[in-house]
Structure 1
Amino acid sequence: MADKIARGFCGWLLALTSFCLQATPDYQLPDNIQPNFQQISLKVDPDQADFSGDTFIDLTIKQATDKVGFYQIDLTLDKVELIRDGKSIPLTVSGGDYDIFWGQSATVLEPGDYQLHIQYKGKVNTSSDGMYLARFEERNYLFTQFEDMEARRAFPSFDQPNYKIPFQLKIQAPEKHVVLSNTPVLSREVKDGWQTVEFKRTKPLPTYLVAYAIGELDSAEISGLSVPGRIYTPKGKAEQTRFIIKHMPQILKSLEDYFGMPYPYEKLDFIAVPNFTHGAMENAGLITFRSSLLLLEDEPGLAERSGPLDTVTHELAHQWYGNLVTMSWWDDLWLNEAFASWMASKVMMKLYPELNFHTRIVQEGAFEADASPTTKPVKKIVRSSADVMDGLGLNYSKGESILNMIESLTGEAPFQKAVQAYMQKHKWGNTTADDLWAVLGDVADFDVPAMMKTYLEQPGYPLVSFAADGTVSQSRYHLAGADVAEQSWIVPLSVSFKKNGKLQRRMLYLDKPSSNVVELAEADWVYPNDNAMGYFRWQMSAQQMRALLKDIDALNGREKKELLYNSGALLQAGKADFEQHLSVLNTLAADKEPMVARAVVASLNDFTYLVDKTNEDDFASFLQTKLLPWYQQLGMSQRPDDSEDVIKLRQAVFSLLSLYGHVPEVDSKAQALAASYLHEPVSVPRNLASYALRNAAKYGNAEWYEKFNQAYLKHTDANIRGTIMAGMYFPQDSNLTKVLNFSFDEQMSPANVIYNLVVASRAQEQQDLLYQWLDKHFEQLVERMPSYHIGRMPEFVSSSCNAHNIQLAKAFYTPRMDKFDGMARSFEVAMNDASQCVAMKQRFQSSFTQLLKQVNQKR
């Protein structure tokens, strides 16, 4: 009865239809219309700028209305009509907010089934959004990138993740091209030099997972999968996929075993894309990757293989997390990304123990961003693509950290059981975070929803303090001088402590500002983060810290690393001084484990923002004391029996010494390696080459630029080009200008322009030349770069630690920021981070410089 009354009310008051439909936010389509199936026909030629399309969307109108909403961007709509019972109902189209267009009917549209038919034309994007052009080795290719809200650039649609429906594509393209989509080919006809390829109907998908590719592609078969699969590459590159082909079957099998269900789609194809904004995209059955991740040597070194294997595993995990089960709206994007990252780490630990994923402390990649006063919660209001991208990294790192913490509390087997139940219950559908909490709550002995809301629905994380009398208290962690709102969390603490000479353990849940734990009173020391799984910082008295350092081998390698990183965080928060932090660093510097030594080098690198002309020589002497013994012990030649930890430690030591150490022996070696790499890239491992190139650019003569440029143009391999570009830290004005101008060279893919600008922004301490160039060429950049990169330019390019540069940034962005989606927010984040860095530099630099002098005097 209530539904009938509501329909009648809306039918009488069509002028107030929008009022009747406001159950959904204004940035989403009203829920009175449900799409059920979409057919898309495209006519596309990679060598032409224009394309045309025709789409039919089967839909059900659930409540009487006089208009139908859909999304589109930059398309010319030639015909828009509804079809019912073979009769056409013309629609008059007008634009609205959030890319929503409204097809207005002259008559009331009664409830029932219809087809929305739209004929349209468009232009192929030349950056890497929507359907876009990628030019490589004199050939044109077309690829798609529809996440998050870009499918609307290629076809009108109900472009929301909660509208998960089957699609069927038919693509006309010149006969010479390979045409791919999510599903196998149903039919192919050739006539007059054109082919028409029709694909099988998909399983239910959100629009952002629809994908296709057109071009002169080569391919190699992937055998050993549970479904047919191939890797597609630009012409002539298929031979470089053998490493990934070798490893894909065991990765997929491991995922199928964990989920207790088979891979859910009919085929599994990969594509190596030469112009790609992101690292990879999990399109169902047609996963796209930056070509550098798939086109590899047959057996890349340990340091070069973990990134590609991890990314492949992440994207395959998405076939369940995100594809089979999809978040209902973008505010729960972390459900996709955190789970895929967490699952990838689990598989990597199982299949590739030599890559040491078990030693990674994921939360360290989240803590810096999550400490900022400008940070938003992982689960936040999302109205536009810019909102999705705001703080995107925390969806991965913070989300994975929280899942690690939950699994450690529930146990691996119960957690897996809950995940399998979640997948079975929600397969082919949509979920929210509450659906996940419900299944995890069934296997946990604590209140999962309550705990998760404190970590995901508010920003930041706690600082937990342990007093000598056993009082445990929490406050919000923040950098020294930052102004943040106070918050509280439900903090699980797995505490180890030494008391009366006896090592003990205790599990606590701190769910209020403070609590007294009798057992901890007068403990010699406390370590509250068993196996470094918690998402918090912590502190205890200086006396207890000294006792813990004397008993340091009571901790495992992960815990030692976390202790050092935590000490650095206390320094940054003003909760410890340099002398206290140095005592921790010195203790762990004597540790024999390479993984701990790498943490020491990383901690030394954290000091570099405090280095300037007044103390660079003292810092160089300090580094020489700490790192030259490691440099001499490790050497610069990779040995066959080197572990991944040793390889990365060598890289870390060399990077700091070559950039800040001012050691003639190291500089000479760096420039020799740079010359060798530019002449013959296989002669130097990439992980060393990038830092050798930076040294040559920074400290060598001005002629190095031409060597860099010639080598870049000589090679089309994405990994070689990326390594060379990452080394272009040329401080000379003439060379810096050349680096910046190279952003417009056709050999630089649009997706890589932002990284070229990042390198250039770090080449000179004072960035006047950079901003003069940006001011002159900004309109060209807007035309060339992906819109996502334009909106995020402040964070990428302008997070400086220099007051003068902050003023330059403000002058440059202020008149522009409101014209580009997301730029104002990115500017806010960048300027807050930059101002915070300047404030900390002013606070700490004097004591840091004094410490350097004291340490060097004791040598």
Structure 2
Amino acid sequence: MFKKLLSVFTLIVSTLFFSVPSMADVDYRLPSNIQPTFQKINLKVDPDKPDYSGSTMIDITVSGSADKIGFYQIDLVIDKAELISGDTRLPMTVSAGDYHMNWASTGDTITAGKYKLALTFHGKVNTSSDGMYLSTFEDRNYIFTQFEDMHARRAFPSFDEPSFKIPYQLTISSPEKNTVLSNTLVAKRSVADGWQTVTFNKTKPMPTYIVAYAIGEFDSAPIEGLSIPGHIYTPKGKADKTKFIATHTAEILKALESYFGAAYPFEKVDFIAVPNFTHGAMENAGLITYRDSYLLLGDNPRLTERTGPLNVVAHELAHMWYGNLVTMAWWDDLWLNEAFASWMSGKVMVKLYPELNTVNNLVQEGAFPEDALPTTRPIKKVVREAADVMDGLGLNYSKGESILLMVENLIGEENFQKGIQQYIKDRSWKNAEASDLWRALGAVSDIDLPAMMKTYIEQPGYALINFGENGQVTQERYLLSDEGNKKQVWQVPLSVKYKLNGKVEHMAVTLTQPSQMISKLSEAEWVYPDAGALGYFRWNIPAAQLDALLNDTDKLSSREKKSFINNIGALFTAGKVSLQEQFKALAVLANDSDPMVVRTVFSRIGQLDYLVDDSNRELYARFVEKMALPWFKELGTVEKEGESDDLIKLRYSVFSLLSRTSHNKQVLATARQLSESYLKDANSVPASLAGNAMAMVARHSGQQWFTTLEDAFKATTDARVKGTIGRGFYFEQPELITKALDLNLTDYVTPANVIYGLYYASGRMDDKTLMYQWLVKNFEALTQKMPAYHIAHMPQYVSSSCSVGNITLAKDFYKERMEKFEGMARSFEVMLQSSHQCVELKGKYQADFTEFLKAQ
């Protein structure tokens, strides 16, 4: 699964590893003495009707004896339950238990043996985007599924745990006009009385969370160059927009087959463009679902618009091996599932698309902010329910991928690949735990991976490595305040680049203690502790070495310079370097010849906007103009033939920063021109420029511009265009902010996209009083429309702030609401901690920041 939202928002086994109960009998899992072996599912679904019905037959094996048989379901009505043994059918009574379990009993002891559990049921189609849900697009109704993590139980009764990995066979009845899709090819189809009944081939063994089906009036386009059947399915009339993805899918799949040393494991590979999708994509075996914006790109999208979609396709296809062919035993290892797919997609992107320069992505930077909070939990943790799975979900991807990159760097690419291939071979069609992977990788290296990994996955946070002038190297937990345990210890592999006697040298060393002596470094002119910028840690060197390094930045790669900028920003935030030291470094690297490095400088300047309020807003705007206007005049807003991806992105970053802060007449005039061009023809202006341009115009406009944007927003069904226009509702007038919020409750915004509108509206408010007034009035309507995942995470998306007043408003709003929604209390806790830290940082640094701005 690809969690796109968490990259948008600025927020995220064996006994060797974590003392998590095994599959054995814990109260939040089904008992281990009853094992399913095969399940048939029959459904009767009309996308135009709110109700549906179904039946299922589950083959089970009972070991020993049992008083009852458990299964999962949510919001279904069980009409009939029977236990079948040979020709004997025993009626069963069903009662509800904890954790969505139902318990079926015959009234007598069920002896050891093989049985069939037969259930007949009915329910209502979900209208958000969890389980089996309705999506209405251009006046047609479609049915889609999203079963990860614990949502298959919303569609049909099942043994909804990843360790119950069995074959399934689906039969779906639906009106004849619809196309019916599932994980496998169609075995047979019959039609009678305007209805069709479609039976699909039996699946390979797989967990419930990657079972999938879709029903509706789809169009399709073939994916050429595959050894198995493949199509991209779209809502009616959109198949002509799939050429770009269809063109590149085969080469991505071949690259993955080559790396794993194993053929694609399923009988087909279909993609579906979904108009209403909570997340980014989902790796259902043979039937991968995507937000439609990832697939409907046309023939030739802009260079900068390719990275995200190609990366998501590679991520989901990587899951076919890691996640689907080999499946985690329980949700506590979801972090590894997603980390591996993210790591693998990154490798594919570097190999196939070097022009996109993803080799210089610093994955760890996406994890560091959330992982610095005292409230952050380890990525491997006890999981009892869906909210536990989703807690810190972004870290599963970013921190997990960073750890795998570090391990690969340690043992070498060739050895890492050998270990992975053996792991896939050994665990195919089975379940696995993290320890199985470390064992496979340990077999091709001499590193004690279990011991090292324990320090990264079983404890939260990451190390700050301090280098003393005498060669003393110490580690502590990186935190923004004294709250929390700083005395944690990691096994930190350092790749140290240093300058000694005028010569740049390298040293590899692993820190295992709170303090270690590396005497040779005491003589160095400067030390750069993270050569290659692959480390999952922050570092701090003495002031004299920092000055020397700033005079020698040509000895660093562009990737290392980019990491250096982020690192010194983190040191400033933690109070380890002064504001002046940070800006000295930014000034040096702002003149770098690599546009990627310069873009990172502008990104860091933009991240300081938490120190901006009415007291220094104009000073900050003038400082940004001083830094960015020369680049704006040089780069303009029109792409030129042959420009690199990084130069184009620098143009976007410069304009983005100016559009958010500046009142410059030339910039505003350009924003108006770009906005008007985009609204006439969305292909005429890059979306990254258009969204910022429309937002800048909104800051300087009123009702007339609001009406223009609203009309354009309502008129389009193109998800990319709608998303771009949605970012433009950046009005400052209370009545227009309210109107923009109201738009989220209309049918023009899908349930999965409501959270974006709330996020953008909240982000522009220094005082969130208006936001909470609106939320109080509309909370019930919101929670009826939004997916459960978004409801649970509303505090982080909507309420994060840097204001004591806003924190008080948040406390008042959530105190009676958060216990009613699974996961919301945890999200509130994270939001509160990050907001308090922001308030503390603002109090600590704002005066110095204002004085610095005055001096400029």
Q: Identify the TM-score tier after normalising by the shorter chain.
A: over 0.9
What's the CA shift string for 1:740-780, capped at 9, x where partnerless? 11111112111111111111112321111111110011111
Shift of 1:104: 1.9
Shift of 1:680: 2.1
Residue 427 in 1 paired to residue 422 in 2? no
Matched residues, percent identical? Answer: 56
Note if contact 1:128-1:275 (Cα within 8 Å) is conserved in structure 2. yes
- For 2:758 and 2:554, the matched residues in 1 are separated by 45
Give 1:86-485 correspondences, 5 Å limit: 86-485=87-486
- For 1:509 and 1:580, the matched residues in 2 are separated by 29
Question: Which amino acid in 2 is paired with 1:746?
Answer: D
Which stretch of the first structure deviates more once superposed, 691-700 or 114-123?
691-700
- For 1:482 and 1:666, the matched residues in 2 are separated by 43
Residue 491 (structure 1) aligns with:
492
Residue 603 (structure 2) aligns with:
602
Residue 731 (structure 1) aligns with:
732
Note if contact 1:702-1:732 (Cα within 8 Å) is conserved in structure 2. no
- For 2:572 and 2:54, the matched residues in 1 are separated by 59
- For 1:814 and 1:36, the matched residues in 2 are separated by 45
What's the CA shift string for 1:86-118, capped at 9, x where partnerless? 211222111111101111221111110000000
Question: Which amino acid in 2 is paired with 1:207?
Answer: T
Residue 7 (structure 2) aligns with:
none
Greater than 4 Å deviation, 4+ residue runs: none
Note if contact 1:322-1:335 (Cα within 8 Å) is conserved in structure 2. no
- For 1:551 and 1:206, the matched residues in 2 are separated by 54
Residue 620 in 1 paired to residue 609 in 2? no
- For 1:745 and 1:268, the matched residues in 2 are separated by 35
What's the CA shift string for 1:289-321, capped at 9, x where partnerless? 000110112100011111111101100001011
Question: Which amino acid in 1 is paired with 2:580?
Answer: E
What's the CA shift string for 1:354-386, capped at 9, x where partnerless? 001011110000000000011000101111111
Note if contact 1:496-1:530 (Cα within 8 Å) is conserved in structure 2. yes
Give 1:490-639 correspondences, 5 Å limit: 490-639=491-640
Question: Which amino acid in 2 is paired with 1:439?
Answer: A
What's the CA shift string for 1:629-666, capped at 9, x where partnerless? 21111111111211110111000000001111222211
- For 2:744 and 2:608, the matched residues in 1 are separated by 31
- For 1:663 and 1:396, the matched residues in 2 are separated by 39
Note if contact 2:477-2:488 (Cα within 8 Å) is conserved in structure 1. yes
Residue 694 (structure 2) aligns with:
693
- For 2:739 and 2:543, the matched residues in 1 are separated by 52
What's the CA shift string for 1:405-443, capped at 9, x where partnerless? 111111111000000000000010111110011011112
Residue 17 (structure 1) aligns with:
none
**Alignment partner of 2:29: what SS?**
coil
Note if contact 1:729-1:762 (Cα within 8 Å) is conserved in structure 2. no
Residue 19 (structure 2) aligns with:
none
Change (3 A) 1:182 1:23: closer
Which stretch of the first structure deviates more once superposed, 632-641 or 69-78?
632-641
5+ residue gaps, structure 2: 1-21
Give 1:692-731 correspondences, 5 Å limit: 692-731=693-732
Shift of 1:22: 9.7
**Alignment partner of 1:670: what SS?**
helix
- For 1:652 and 1:92, the matched residues in 2 are separated by 62
Shift of 1:713: 1.4
Note if contact 2:713-2:722 (Cα within 8 Å) is conserved in structure 1. yes
Higher relative CO (CA 8 A, sep ≥ 6), structure 1 or 2? Answer: 2
Shift of 1:626: 1.3
**Alignment partner of 2:189: what SS?**
strand
Residue 800 (structure 2) aligns with:
799
Question: Which amino acid in 2 is paired with 1:444?
Answer: S
Shift of 1:32: 0.7
Residue 650 (structure 1) aligns with:
651
- For 2:26 and 2:709, the matched residues in 1 are separated by 52
Residue 841 in 1 paired to residue 842 in 2? yes
**Alignment partner of 2:409: what SS?**
helix
- For 2:300 and 2:353, the matched residues in 1 are separated by 14
Shift of 1:485: 4.8
Question: Which amino acid in 2 is paired with 1:461?
Answer: Y
Shift of 1:671: 1.9
Shift of 1:668: 1.5
Note if contact 1:480-1:840 (Cα within 8 Å) is conserved in structure 2. no
Question: Which amino acid in 1 is paired with 2:215?
Answer: I
What's the CA shift string for 1:97-156, capped at 9, x where partnerless? 110111122111111000000000000000000000000000000000000000000000
Note if contact 1:182-1:212 (Cα within 8 Å) is conserved in structure 2. yes
Which stretch of the first structure deviates more once superposed, 476-485 or 452-461?
476-485
- For 1:661 and 1:755, the matched residues in 2 are separated by 24
What's the CA shift string for 1:526-564, capped at 9, x where partnerless? 011011000000001100100111111111000001111
- For 2:467 and 2:253, the matched residues in 1 are separated by 45
Question: Which amino acid in 1 is paired with 2:835?
Answer: A
- For 2:696 and 2:23, the matched residues in 1 are separated by 59
Shift of 1:701: 2.9
Residue 4 (structure 1) aligns with:
none
TM-score computed with the length of structure 1 as normaliser: 0.96
- For 1:71 and 1:454, the matched residues in 2 are separated by 35
Shift of 1:481: 4.5
**Alignment partner of 2:67: what SS?**
strand
Residue 752 (structure 1) aligns with:
753
**Alignment partner of 1:531: what SS?**
coil
**Alignment partner of 1:497: what SS?**
strand
Note if contact 2:678-2:684 (Cα within 8 Å) is conserved in structure 1. yes
Shift of 1:505: 1.1
Pairs aligned (count): 835
TM-score computed with the length of structure 2 as normaliser: 0.97
Which stretch of the first structure deviates more once superposed, 249-258 or 628-637?
628-637
Note if contact 1:441-1:448 (Cα within 8 Å) is conserved in structure 2. yes
